[in-house]
Every structure is written in structure tokens, then in C-alpha cells.
Amino acid sequence: MAQALRPNTVGGLFATDGKPHPLQDTLLAVTLVLGITSFVTAMFHSLHLLSSWTGLVGIVTGAYGQWISVTTRERFGLILGLGAAGVGFFLGMAHGGLFGGVFG
């Protein structure tokens, strides 16, 4: 029972199982960056193209990251990024959409 009390000191920041997960960590970082970018730019009406596209790509990368994620820490970060990307995407769509003002 002593092994249950030992802290996990091996592995990366998000890997709680002691194994490296470079693809999952990369998807986590990309989803967080895209989600934050989409969320922040959605607050400006004229940046709807940037917010809607970064939100859409953030949702896709976050969904794929959730599908292949291994640990709870990865999933937690991906959910934060997905939420920010979703809010930014929908606000960007409300302000003009993916192609608003480009073709007309």
C-alpha cells in the first residue's frame, strides 16, 4: 500500500501515467492557443474572420485531441481550449461568419 502514497515524479507535465505523449501534448497546446485567440478576437466585431476560423480549427483539433487523449490532465486542458474555441467560433459566426464580407 506504500506505493499509493508515492508522488509521480516521472513523465511530462500532462502525462500522469509516466509515459511521454508528444502528439497529445502538441494537440493540447494548439487547441489552447487557437481557443484563446478565437475567444479574444471574438470580442472585436471587425475580427470575425479570424475568430470564426481559429475557432473552427480549434474545435477540430480539440475534438481529435479528445479522441486520442490518454490522461485526465490532457482532457481537462482540451476541454478548456474547446470551450474557448467554441465561444469564439459562435461569436465570430454571429458577427459575420467565415466568409462575411469577403464575397460581397
Q: What is the mean pLDDT of residues 6-33?
A: 80
pLDDT, position 40 = 98
Which segments within the chain are labelled E, that is strand? none
CB atoms within 10 A of CB 13: 9
The C-alpha angle with vertex 101 and arms to 35 and 103, in degrees rounded to 5, equals 115
The residue among 4 and 81 whose pLDDT is bigger is 81
> What are 65's three cell numbers?
485531441
Lowest mean pLDDT across 3-12, 62-71, 83-92: 3-12
C-alpha cell at 60: 477540430
Place of cell 467554441: 86
Q: How many C-beta atoms lie closer than 10 Å to residue 75's C-beta?
A: 17
Q: Give the pLDDT band (50/70/90) at residue 101.
A: confident
Highest-pLDDT range among 6-10, 21-25, 35-39? 35-39
